Amino acid sequence: MAKFFVKRILTAVVQIFVVTTIVFFALQMMPGDPVLMMLSRDGSAVNQEAYDALEAELGLDQPVMTQYFDWITDLLHGDLGQSYSEKRPVVEAIQDRLPRTLELAAAAMVLACVIGIPLGIISAVRRGGFVDLGLTLLSSLGNSVPVFVMGYLLVLIFALTLGVLPSSGYVPVARGMTKHLLRLVLPAVALAFGVASSILRMTRSSMLESLGSESVRPLRAKGLSKRKVYLKHVMRNMLIPVVTIIGLQLGNLIAGTVLCEAVFNWPGIATLLVNAIGDRDYPLIQGCMLILSAIFILTNMVVDMLYGMLDPRAR
């Protein structure tokens, strides 16, 4: 087991390094000049002397490989550089925004699991009935509706028509827990809808597969109650693929936060990344991409470890 864990950790470290390297060199090929954008932001003319001075200050006058090794060296010391647009260290900018994105993603994932797993079990138990048909259609709808469309529908229904929830915005917990949670509801539901649909479908198929397996059918013949068979045998076998799909759906959650934060004006790291791309803020883009990719890779590493614990054959 220890060898399995060490292998997964080393793989995650290599993956993070590869992603950061790809992001760095991809930024070098992006159109646009950050120095020119910074100097011409107020609409004034740019002279060559000011351009050269700022380029040297930002280190952009160095060869690409020199910039890369300087960035890797700073990264190993915990320094992600200085943001051009935020006028402060990248670490500080990310520290302000990351907790809000993690809160939104965590709320959406919990909601998706609370909805998707029980409904998937019900759909499997009621296989072939009207309940199963309705839940199957609902899950298909959830997988086909984009996050931003679901977001606008929720705003239209619950904010503009019924007026029971705020349409957008963010309120810190310090200004009131109730106000904070009310503004979390709609973006979390919009983000959770598609994920819950995928979890529902996987739970249903895994449950049906477990119920029909050779190891489960004889248990009922031995006189074990249906409840005991479900809880001790069927549910355990069902958990393995469900845990896997939950881990895979975290990638969709991270991608979905970009649109979700834009629709609901939620000031998280995704909107910070989008603004940084528009400003050609290379250090901030690299920092955001590093953190987001690390979250995705490390989460999948944890899922792999859980999978290995649940199913020794995966080791």
Interaxial angle between packed helices 282-310 and 269-278, expressed in degrees from 0 to 180 and rounded to the nearest 10: 140
Instruction: Read off the pLDDT of each residue in 250-267 and give the average, rounded to a whole number.
Output: 83
The per-residue pLDDT of the chain, averaged, comes to 82
Separation of alpha carbons 279 and 34, rounded Å:
7
Positive or negative CA dihedral for 116, 117, 118, 119? positive
Alpha-carbon distance of 299 to 28, in angstroms, equals: 29
| AA identity, residue 257 | T
pLDDT in tens, 44-67: 666 777 777 877 877 777 888 888
Q: Please work out, in degrees rounded to the nearest 5, the angle formed at the alpha carbon of residue 298 by the alpha carbons of 296 and 13.
A: 110
Domain ranges of the chain: 90-314
Domain 90-314, what architecture? Answer: Orthogonal Bundle (1.10)
Render pLDDT for 280-308 as a digit per residue (tens, 0 to 9): 888 899 899 888 888 888 887 877 777 66
- What does residue 259 show for φ and ψ, rounded to 5 degrees? -70, -40
pLDDT attached to residue 314: 54
Per DSSP, 37 falls in state: H
Per-residue confidence band for 155, with pLDDT thresholds at 50, 70 and 90:
very high
Closest-CA residue to 274 (of 297, 251, 257)? 257
| Distance separating alpha carbons of residues 253 and 241, to the nearest angstrom | 18
- DSSP line for 130-175: HHHHHHHHHHHHHHHS-HHHHHHHHIIIIIIIS--S--S----GGG
Helix (H) or strand (E) holding 59: none
Q: What is the pLDDT of residue 112?
A: 92
Q: What pLDDT band is residue 202 in, cutting at 50, 70 and 90?
A: confident
Q: Is the pLDDT of residue 219 over 70?
A: no
DSSP code per residue over 215-273: TTHHHHHTT--HHHHIIIIIHHHHHHHHHHHHHHHHHHHHHHHHHHHHHHT--SHHHHH
